[in-house]
Amino acid sequence: MKFFVRCIGLLGPLVAFCISCSAVPEQQGLLETEIPDAKISSRNLRIMVSEYVPSYAHKIESTADNILANSQDRTIRQNALLWKINAISAGFGAATRPDPLGSYFDLWVLTRQMMHLFETADDPQFGPWQQDAIVACQQLDARLIEINQKLDSQNAFVESFVEETARQHPLSNLYFDRTPLATENIESIRPPKHDMLHVVASMQDDVKEMQRLSALYAEYLPKQARWQAELLALSVHTMPAVESTLADLAVAADAIHHMANSAAEMQKSLDQQLAAMPLLIDSQRQLATGDLEEMQALTLAQLRAEREAVMLAVHQEQEAVRAWVEATVESSADRADVITEKRVVQSAGEAERLLDRAAVYGAALFAATGVLGFLFFLWYRVVVRPRRPPREVEPRGTGEINFAFDHERRGNRRRAA
């Protein structure tokens, strides 16, 4: 029994370790720590956030372009350009947070801050088209509420936290100078525990999502440059250095030509950065892959050493059990031989005693039979035989009478018998 308990004690951790090594765990983040009853995982939340960001940027861009197409007011056009430039940059910045739940919270707080900025403005930033911006923010907020429903439809804590944070830290202008959220809530955040397997499992997905977001933001970089140029062109008349030069058309033409060259150079610089970005990403991926391969090799070496140690221990236990079983079998065979010999001797003695008793009982029975036979013979000789009457000589002529008499007497004896 002790042997089986020891075997189970050795094989149990080995099986559990093999199972844990064969199963790749899912990514664990703040979602699993703060909302353990969530319907989705951190990986699924990251996918939904990554899908939300392009629609967020497109909604803001299309609404701002509509305002720019319908308004000729310089201030409204400047505000529309500022909204496109700063809101889209802030959205991509919030989406690139390391943890999916942090990205989701930051995006939702940003959306609510924009909506409150437009709803509570004393002087509407977009004039008659202020309601268009509010409707766009409400539509974006509805998308985020749908994601929250997928997290936990019964939990209102997330929405109340977002609303309270947006109210406490409102936006003051369209430059999106936001208060850092992590500084205020850093003490209440419990960092998730990551072991080596979780890091290895989530690293590839995180790299892919960051590559996707980087590629999406890279598509907006040329637009950002063009919007910055348009904003600069709208605000150039307010610069003191430019006001004096506008009097001279030649100087203004030179300035415009210089601005065009600057935009071309900026576009060229952006193109160079975009061309260099895949190389940089590939080099980072190769470095990360090399580190992962080293970690995998080290882990496999450790597993191999542990497996050999476990197999050696199991082999030693098997040898000890085999020796114990052989010794037990030999001692059991010796004991069986001794017990068998004792039983044979005892059986021989019992057989001899039974044979002696049978001989005595047989002699006694034979003697009793002889005595009884002798007594019967005496009884017959003494009692039965003398009863027969002596045979008399019959006279001549009386033979038939005597024969009839004898015949009748024999009949009477038969009947009497």
What are the pLDDT digits (tens) for 269-311? 878 888 888 888 888 888 888 888 899 899 999 999 999 999 9
408: exposed, middle or buried (C-beta count within 10 Å: 0-12, 13-18, 19+)? exposed
Residues 6 or more apart in contact with residue 151 via CB below 8 angstroms: 31, 35, 38, 39, 40, 45, 158
397 backbone φψ class: left, alpha, beta (φ>0; ψ -120 to 50): left
The pLDDT assigned to 3 comes to: 40
* 87, 100 contact by CB (below 8 A): no
Does residue 187 form part of some domain? Answer: yes
Looking at the fold, whether 50 and 18 belong to one and the same domain comes out as no
Q: What is the mean pLDDT of residues 249-265?
A: 74
Does residue 238 form part of some domain? Answer: no
Looking at the fold, whether 15 and 116 belong to one and the same domain comes out as no
Name the more confident of 99 and 82: 82
Count other Cβ atoms within 10 Å, centred on residue 310: 15
The pLDDT assigned to 193 comes to: 52
Percent of the chain with pLDDT over 90: 25
Name the more confident of 22 and 215: 215
How far, in Å, CA of 276 to CA of 391, rounded? 163
Look over the chain and give the mean of its residue pLDDT values, rounded to a whole number. 78
Looking at the fold, whether 180 and 324 belong to one and the same domain comes out as no
The pLDDT assigned to 91 comes to: 92
What are the pLDDT digits (tens) for 9-25? 444 444 344 444 444 44
Structural domain of residue 12, as residue ranges?
Answer: 1-28+305-331
Does residue 22 form part of some domain? Answer: yes
Does residue 381 form part of some domain? Answer: no
* Residue 58: pLDDT over 90: yes
Looking at the fold, whether 41 and 154 belong to one and the same domain comes out as yes
Highest average pLDDT, of 38-52, 125-139, 315-329, comes from 125-139
Looking at the fold, whether 22 and 34 belong to one and the same domain comes out as no
One-letter amino acid of 354: L
* Residue 246: pLDDT over 60: no
Does residue 267 form part of some domain? Answer: no
Domain boundary among 296, 331, 366: 331
Q: Which of 87-96, 311-320, 402-411 has the lowest mean pLDDT?
A: 402-411
- The count of domains in the chain is 2
The pLDDT assigned to 22 comes to: 41
Looking at the fold, whether 15 and 40 belong to one and the same domain comes out as no
One-letter amino acid of 64: A
* Residue 333: pLDDT over 50: yes
The pLDDT assigned to 73 comes to: 92
Q: What is the mean pLDDT of residues 61-66?
A: 95
Name the more confident of 402 and 90: 90
Domain boundary among 191, 222, 237: 191
* Residue 374: pLDDT over 80: yes
Does residue 167 form part of some domain? Answer: yes
Give the residue among 30, 396, 397, 328 at the shortest CA–CA distance from 192. 30
Q: What is the mean pLDDT of residues 21-36?
A: 60
The pLDDT assigned to 157 comes to: 78
How far, in Å, CA of 417 to CA of 410, rounded? 10
Looking at the fold, whether 47 and 23 belong to one and the same domain comes out as no
Q: What is the mean pLDDT of residues 109-137?
A: 94
The pLDDT assigned to 330 comes to: 84
* Residue 122: pLDDT over 80: yes
Does residue 274 form part of some domain? Answer: no
How far, in Å, CA of 231 to CA of 389, rounded? 175
* 155, 35 contact by CB (below 8 A): yes
176 backbone φψ class: left, alpha, beta (φ>0; ψ -120 to 50): left
The pLDDT assigned to 252 comes to: 65
The pLDDT assigned to 184 comes to: 62
The pLDDT assigned to 21 comes to: 42
Does residue 211 form part of some domain? Answer: no
Q: Which of 71-80, 112-121, 241-250 has the lowest mean pLDDT?
A: 241-250
Looking at the fold, whether 52 and 86 belong to one and the same domain comes out as yes
Looking at the fold, whether 59 and 174 belong to one and the same domain comes out as yes
Looking at the fold, whether 36 and 5 belong to one and the same domain comes out as no
Looking at the fold, whether 163 and 37 belong to one and the same domain comes out as yes
Tokens in use for 151? 């997290």
The pLDDT assigned to 185 comes to: 59
Looking at the fold, whether 71 and 15 belong to one and the same domain comes out as no
Residues 6 or more apart in contact with residue 321 via CB below 8 angstroms: 3
Domain boundary among 140, 170, 191: 191
